[in-house]
Structure 1
Amino acid sequence: MLGGMHDHDGPLARLRRGHEELVLGLLRRHGPLSRGQLGQRAGLSRTTLSDIVAELVASGAVVASAKDPGPRRRGRPVELLTLNPQAGQAIGIDFARRAVHVAAANVAHEVIGSASAAHAADLPWPDRIDLADSLVGTLAGGALRLSALGTVGAIGVGVVGPVGHLTSAPPGDAQGREELLAKRFGGPVLLDNNTRLAALAESTWGAAAGRRNVLYLRLSHGVGGGLVVGGALHRGTDGLSGELGHITVDPAGARCECGGTGCLETVASIGAVLRAYRAAGGRAADIAELHSAADAGDRTAHDVLHTVGGHVGAVLAAVCNAVGPGVIVIGGEVADRGTALLTAVEQALDARVLPIARDRVTLRRAELGDVGGALGGIALVLHESPLLAGYPARPDRTDSGPADPDPQEDA
């Protein structure tokens, strides 16, 4: 008999643990998968996969359930595998320019709840964090609290502006604000740009769910974007990826807060669109009224949105030609309603995207709304959290630390 067969730290045991971590990681990243889908992604033999799944189900780490009922078919019903929903939760928070959005989900990718509250643009950071804490307290019947991380795996936080190695906290007094977040949350916090997180959310739960190459653009009080490349969120050097709002569309245009001239943000943000409409003789207190005017047949409102859509489409086409996404998702208040803007975007894409690629790109409206950034924070946790990467801690393990990150799946 080979003595190594019973050595929990031997090469076979380590190989098995590696296979378990692979399966758990795939379920953590992608949510419920059939055995066939899991086998395709894992690259394991059918026998090995069956053995690993059987043990994970027996241990309670993974649960199996029948697929949603549909038309009756012959043969065995398709079974979905997912992480045990009771294994833990994650909280996502989006500190937007004028609002706080929160959401919570379990490790099985089931969204528990979400909430939002608007605030003044100059609200101090301690008050924003208090507001986030209060909103989280409304989720799941008050069972989730930022101060109760014993039951919450981790928190993903989205903020406005670049977030990377050199800018690891919100703009301004970075060190002070990062300390505020860490002190209040009392546990692991993953920070990223909120628009980039919205891109991740749309590719996880929303309009581009299941798609591995996604270009996302949000037209709101600011204009920003995000890229999901090969199923991974692309941050770029020091978190500078996705600043689509600062691509020049009119060299003779208005001065942008970034220091440039004629950036997309100077023509496609909420403030810029309202100014253009009012300058043309229209009257609207906010972007919702402008959309209502366009829906009612106001030609001025229609023309303003169509012009904005042309600028947006030109930028998206240029990015498409550079990175080749399969799906473009547009969100934010400026694009939430009506057809004038999206029609102009489609026309610009038809005219500017390389002919060989045009029929490979689809344009979709975002589905997750204001809470997209918060859901993206949750997706960030489910993709990256060391707590979840090492889940579950088995009694017979001596090495229960987090698994090494997979560079190809880095979110």
Structure 2
Amino acid sequence: MTASATADRYPSRGDLLLVLNCGSSSIKFALFDAGQTPLPRAPVWNGKVQGIGGDAPSYGETGRETEQVALDADQPYHAALTRIRDGVAARLGGRRLHAVAHRVVHGGGRYEAPVRMDAAVLADLKGYVPLAPLHQPFALEAIEMLLEAEPALPQVACFDTAFHHTLPQVERMLPLPYDAWTRGLRRYGFHGLSYAYMAEVLPERHGAVARGRCIVAHLGSGASLCAMQDLESIATTMGFSALDGLMMGTRTGALDPGAVLYLMEIEKLSLADVGHLLYHRSGLLGVSGRSSEPRVLLPLEAEAGETGERARIALALYVRRIVREIGALVAVLGGLDLLVFTAGIGEHSAEIRARVCAGLGFLGVALDADANTADAAVISAPASPVLVGVEPTNEEWIAARQTLALLAGAH
């Protein structure tokens, strides 16, 4: 995997651009034809390495069967990245790799736009690791590995926090002493690449209504809501860290800080223990005791005994928190014109969408049951005063496009 030593700012037709989306145990990758204008939204090659650091890691390319892989036990993440690099090299066929784009979750208050990576920026971004421990260190590990292996290859960090730079100060501030604000303790917002894609695709799909009062529900293993007006973020549920807001697969979402103090003072949990509890043992997994995924829990609701009861409670709490937070954002927006579901659960769980929308009956939301079951682009009934849609997200394309714009000198 090589790049031109001079790294031309403008790609030639056939040049490729790699996007890496790194999590704690998985790496999503996508390769785009960077020389085409406009940039195609579909990658020429993509896939995922998952289970990194576990007993059965796997490697899968879209359109091909997933295979189990052996990763170096001492450096499994490096081994996974090497496997991806080998796959890229096999597909170059004499073409050049123009750049690598990285989804980086946290850019803090300093980085409100994509940035070209170097050692100084890398060191700066490591300071945000405590705010996004499930993602930040792993994206930076990939960047550092490539900086060492191929220093001439342009790398660009694209930030999930950047889309929310339009939040007004009243949405950014925390109710702490004012000097906390000056020290950078504030609400940042996340899932910005996904919301940036929605800001592109929703006007294409729904026309002028998308520029009105819109809420996007990004429901995946991590989950958040974003209230948009004129396609800009004006409020969001995640705040200082990716723990805030909605209940998630393994994360608590918003939690009374008194509960954290109780766990530490009365139950004597250490800081590390509390962190692990909040990030890895809570949410759907913690309440149900069985799974972090609605698709697994939904069938369990029918079971008798504790298993069924806990599955029902977990899903009821999950849906209630979504409905409650949508209601809060509707108040901020002054009404609602468009509600859009995206990400893994939002795109594929008709039952969760139906339950959420049933809780929004006070807004007049009404679904077309057949359209919802089919995961159609529009799932609301014709008479519904709120248009409800389903839209697959495309974070990788946004990162690729932002990278090309930065390297071409566009700001």
TM-score (norm 1): 0.51
Of the three residues 99, 107, 130, the one matched with 1:154 is 99
Of the three residues 2, 20, 23, the one matched with 1:93 is 20
Alpha-carbon spacing, 1:87–1:305, altered in 2? closer, same or farther (3 Å): same
State the aligned residue count.
283
CA distance in 2, matches of 1:361, 1:184: 51
Q: Does residue 118 of structure 1 match 2:50? A: yes
CA distance in 1, matches of 2:101, 2:13: 19
Q: How far apart are residue 101 of structure 1 and its match?
A: 0.5
Q: Report the equivalent of 1:38.
A: none
Q: Does residue 138 of structure 1 match 2:87? A: yes
Give 2:298's aligned amino acid.
H
Q: Does residue 293 of structure 1 match 2:300? A: yes
Q: Report the equivalent of 2:196.
A: 200
Question: 1:136-166: per-residue Cα shift (whole Å, max 9, x none)?
Answer: 543595228xxx9x83343321134454516
| Identical amino acids, percent of aligned pairs | 10
CA distance in 1, matches of 2:303, 2:203: 27
CA contact (8 A) 2:102 2:155 kept: no
Structure 1: which 5+ residue stretches go unaligned? 1-82, 260-265, 388-401, 406-411
SS of the residue aligned with 1:117?
strand
In our comparison, the structure showing a higher alpha carbon Rg is: 1
Alpha-carbon spacing, 1:125–1:292, altered in 2? closer, same or farther (3 Å): farther
Q: Does residue 312 of structure 1 match 2:333? A: no
CA contact (8 A) 1:314 1:349 kept: no
CA contact (8 A) 1:92 1:376 kept: no
Q: Report the equivalent of 2:223.
A: 223
Q: Does residue 381 of structure 1 match 2:403? A: yes
Q: How far apart are residue 316 of structure 1 and its match?
A: 2.3
Q: How far apart are residue 274 of structure 1 and its match?
A: 2.5
Structure 2: which 5+ residue stretches go unaligned? 1-9, 55-71, 112-123, 131-135, 161-189, 247-252, 265-276, 366-382
CA contact (8 A) 1:163 1:191 kept: no
Q: Does residue 189 of structure 1 match 2:156? A: yes
CA distance in 2, matches of 1:165, 1:132: 28
Give 1:321's aligned amino acid.
A
Q: Report the equivalent of 2:373.
A: none
CA distance in 2, matches of 1:128, 1:377: 21
Matches within 5 A, 1:258-277: 271-277=282-288
Alpha-carbon spacing, 1:328–1:207, altered in 2? closer, same or farther (3 Å): farther
CA distance in 2, matches of 1:269, 1:347: 29
Q: How far apart are residue 320 of structure 1 and its match?
A: 3.7
Choose between structure 1 and 2 for higher RCO, CA contacts under 8 A separated by at least 6 residues.
1
CA contact (8 A) 2:340 2:388 kept: yes
CA distance in 2, matches of 1:121, 1:227: 36
CA distance in 2, matches of 1:377, 1:163: 18
CA distance in 1, matches of 2:402, 2:300: 38
Q: How far apart are residue 118 of structure 1 and its match?
A: 1.1
Q: How far apart are residue 332 of structure 1 and its match?
A: 4.6
Question: 1:208-239: per-residue Cα shift (whole Å, max 9, x none)?
Answer: 85766564443444334556664567899xx9
CA distance in 1, matches of 2:47, 2:92: 14
Q: CA RMSD in A?
A: 5.2
Q: How far apart are residue 88 of structure 1 and its match?
A: 4.1
Give 1:195's aligned amino acid.
H
SS of the residue aligned with 1:306?
helix
CA contact (8 A) 1:215 1:328 kept: yes
CA contact (8 A) 1:207 1:329 kept: no
